[in-house]
Amino acid sequence: MNGLSVALIWLHISGNVVWIGSILAVAAIITAKSVDPKIRGELALRVYSFLSVPAFVLGFVGGTARLLLDPRYYLVEHHWMHGKLLFAITVIGLHHVIGARAKKLARGTVQDSGPTAIMGTILAVSAVVAAFFAIFKLPD
């Protein structure tokens, strides 16, 4: 693998680590029942805007650029990338729904955390599964 490809994967992983870690923090803040909902929303939105969104952009750009360097390899020769992209779209969806909940709490339009706890749990489990595939190099 050439230097640019390795650098893009490095960027991708760096972005993803901060992205998933921080979106879990957003979920943890949103679900802190003992704190006033509007304050929770404002704190959650701060973590979301300053950490989750920029880290997501970094991870997305790194991963997409790496994919575009070798689209045939990833999309035609090795079909595991289709499953991975489906997984990525799901994670991106959860990221947006959690962020939207933070915005609504901060604006005062809702007071409850909605399905944030279950979404955070799904994200945490997904992060562990993604790390498993990367460490054990599956699929080969």
- Footprint of ligand HEM on this chain (CB under 6 A)? 9, 12-13, 16, 20, 60, 63-64, 66-67, 74, 88, 91, 130, 134, 137
* Residue 108, phi then psi, degrees to nearest 5: 85, 10
Q: Which residue is nearest to ligand HEM (CB)?
A: 63
CB of 108: closest distance to ligand HEM in angstroms? Answer: 31
19 Cβ partners below 8 Å, 6+ apart? Answer: 51, 52, 55, 56, 58, 59, 95
Min. distance of Cβ 12 from ligand HEM in angstroms?
5
Work out how close the CB of 138 gets to ligand HEM at its nearest, in angstroms, rounded to a whole number: 9
CB 11 within 8 A of CB 72: no
Minimum distance from CB of 137 to ligand HEM (Å)?
6
Of 9 and 53, the one with the shorter C-beta distance to ligand HEM is 9
If DSSP states are collapsed to H, E and C, what string results for 82-125? HHHHHHHHHHHHHHHHHHHHHHHHHHCCCCCCCCHHHHHHHHHH
| Residue placing its CB nearer to ligand HEM in the complex, 13 or 51 | 13
